[in-house]
Structure 1
Amino acid sequence: MSKLKVLILCTGNSARSQMAEGILREDGGAAFEVHSAGVKPGSVRPEAIQAMKEIGIDISGHRSKSVEEFIGQEFDFVITVCDNAKETCPVFPGKTRQIHQSFEDPPQPGEKSAGETIAIFRRVRDEIRQWMKDFIADTDL
């Protein structure tokens, strides 16, 4: 059986989509080929790396990628995890199923205290993990 190809999109490919990619790779195992990208890529947030490390998932080697790197490729699923990415999501060829599930955008550096910021990253991480568990369970493997 071939792997299901999944592309996870958000604005910067710096937090939510990076965490979602790491979680789906870990929890979905060999059933999925997972990629993430952003419509305006930045760099992976250190808080995202820390929050994921706390649950045993290493995304420290990830890099922010542009959705442009994936144009023309076929995916089984394109998942947008923020409203901006949903609005600007390109059309992918084939029988791609698009799914939108918005998660809170973690605060930008300096917007909140370090403690508040990492607490929000942890909460968003946990919400993404729960949603991904449901996605995996609902996917015809």
Structure 2
Amino acid sequence: MIKVLFVCVHNSARSQMAEAFLNKQGQGDFLAESAGLEPAPLNELVAKAMSEIGYDISGNETNSVFDFYKEGRKYNMIVKVCDTESGQKCPIFPLTLRVLNWNLPDPSEFVGTDEEKLIQIRALRDKIKDLVVSLINEFKDLDTSAETRN
């Protein structure tokens, strides 16, 4: 089982979508969690966009990456879905085999009416889904044989 942590600034949108996609698409091979540098409430428009394709994240809580670090959680892979500058603030988790930087736009910064924002969020959602599918295909055979990593 490959344990993956998705990190973004608020854990309210991008990382939540990525976590949901990986836990469903990579079921059995991957286990995903998500956290933020500065957790904020879940983005309701993101929850709506996810529900449109059958993913209910409306009840998800947001988490702090620093709390996960202090708890001593271990991951085989960290995926930073925020911009590169914000991603540099992420703590370094011991024994992590891979760190990926996806550098995706933050939905909290989208402008326009709710419908205009939803159009942008849907495009981002679909991009994240494609990235997750690529991650699964590329890393499903990642050697995690050292059980201390889990």
**TM-score (structure 2 length as normaliser):** 0.86
Q: Give yes or no for contact 1:74–1:96 (8 Å, CA) kept in 2.
A: no
* Bigger mean CA offset, 69-78 vs 3-12: 69-78
Aligned to 1:113: 113
SS of 1:30's partner is coil
Amino acid at match of 1:52: M
Aligned to 1:140: 140
CA distance in 2, matches of 1:68, 1:113: 34
Map 1:1-141 → 2, pairs under 5 A: 3-71=1-69, 72-83=72-83, 84-108=85-109, 111-141=111-141
Deviation string, structure 1 residues 20-62 (Cα, Å, up to 9, x no partner)? 1111111111211110000000011111111111111111121
C-alpha change, 1:129 and 1:69, in structure 2 (3 Å) is: same
CA distance in 2, matches of 1:131, 1:39: 21
CA distance in 2, matches of 1:5, 1:129: 18
Please state how far the C-alpha of 1:108 moved relative to its aligned partner.
Answer: 4.3
Count of matched residue pairs:
138
Q: Give yes or no for contact 1:80–1:102 (8 Å, CA) kept in 2.
A: yes
**TM-score (structure 1 length as normaliser):** 0.92
Q: Give yes or no for contact 1:26–1:57 (8 Å, CA) kept in 2.
A: no
Could you tell me which runs of 5 or more consecutive residues in structure 2 were left unpaired when the two chains were aligned.
Answer: 142-150
Cα RMSD after superposing both structures: 1.4
Amino acid at match of 2:75: F
Runs in 1 of length 4+ with deviation above 4 angstroms? Answer: none
